[in-house]
Amino acid sequence: MSPVELHDSAGATQPADMAVSDRPAPRVLLVDDEEDTRMLTEAILSRRGYEVRLADSGRTALAMLAEDYDAVLLDVMMPEMSGLEVLSRIRETPRLARLPVILLTARQRDRDLIEGYRDGADYYITKPCTAEQIEYGLRLVLGDGGASRRTPG
Ligand SMILES: [Mg+2]
């Protein structure tokens, strides 16, 4: 079984456009080395009206961030380049310095949280997590309803 168990109890009966109504869909970059987590989270967020793009590594994520996103969901525990390292690179890039970043961390990893906030994380979610926790975090960092923060151009 995947270490991440996403439960989507409340989302199953909601219409697809409930999360964002008539606003443009918030664009979220989901970075996780585990395919199961990517697929589950993408399914949940897509159903709730988010536009989701996937990266399976920190390096891929940094390349994809040449495009504009409204928020990043960033796994901490990844091979080669950890989520914390990706976060540091994001914050070092002036265009991305204020991009909302939510860390996805394993429980029993308090050190990650302290380092994550020090490195500029906006919020964190501990795995295993629910669909509701992810959406709550996104709404929090995006502002109510998920209005786009993307800078024009
Ligand atoms: Mg991982």
Classify residue 128: in a domain, yes or no: yes
At 112 the pLDDT is 75
- Neighbour count for residue 140 (Cβ, 10 Å): 14
Count how many domains the chain has. 1
Question: Span 69-79, mean pLDDT?
Answer: 96
Q: Could you tell me the distance, in angstroms and rounded to a whole number, from the CA of residue 3 to the centre of ligand 1?
A: 9
Classify residue 135: in a domain, yes or no: yes
Classify residue 110: in a domain, yes or no: yes
Domain that holds residue 141: 24-145
At 122 the pLDDT is 94
Is the distance from CB of 15 to CB of 139 less than 8 angstroms? Answer: no
Residue 137 has pLDDT above 60, yes or no: yes
Q: What percent of the chain has pLDDT over 90?
A: 63
pTM here is 0.80
Please tell me whether residue 87 adopts helix, strand or coil conformation: helix
* The one-letter amino acid at 53: R
At 106 the pLDDT is 81
Q: Could you tell me the distance, in angstroms and rounded to a whole number, from the CA of residue 143 to the centre of ligand 1?
A: 27
Classify residue 150: in a domain, yes or no: no
At 99 the pLDDT is 97
Out of 8-17, 47-56, 120-129, the most confident range is 47-56
What is the arrangement of strands in the sheet containing 27-31, beginning at the earlier edge strand?
A: 51-55, 27-31, 71-75, 101-106, 123-127
Beta bridge partners of 51: 27
Classify residue 17: in a domain, yes or no: no
Q: Could you tell me the distance, in angstroms and rounded to a whole number, from the CA of residue 23 to the centre of ligand 1?
A: 32
Q: Could you tell me the distance, in angstroms and rounded to a whole number, from the CA of residue 101 to the centre of ligand 1?
A: 16
Total length of the chain: 153
Is the distance from CB of 149 to CB of 26 less than 8 angstroms? Answer: no
- The residue behind tokens 């394993």 is 106
CA angle 110, 142, 90 (to 5 degrees): 60
At 82 the pLDDT is 95
CATH number at residue 90: 3.40.50.2300
Q: Could you tell me the distance, in angstroms and rounded to a whole number, from the CA of residue 20 to the centre of ligand 1?
A: 28
- The model's pLDDT over 15-69, given as tens digits with 9 standing for 90+, comes to 444 544 567 899 999 999 999 999 999 999 999 999 999 999 999 999 999 999 9
Classify residue 41: in a domain, yes or no: yes
Q: Rounded to the nearest 10 degrees, how much is the dihedral formed by the CA atoms of 20, 25, 27, 30?
A: 60
* Least confident interval from 77-91, 124-138, 139-153: 139-153
Q: Could you tell me the distance, in angstroms and rounded to a whole number, from the CA of residue 107 to the centre of ligand 1?
A: 12
Q: Could you tell me the distance, in angstroms and rounded to a whole number, from the CA of residue 152 to the centre of ligand 1?
A: 32
Question: Span 115-129, mean pLDDT?
Answer: 88
Classify residue 88: in a domain, yes or no: yes
Classify residue 84: in a domain, yes or no: yes
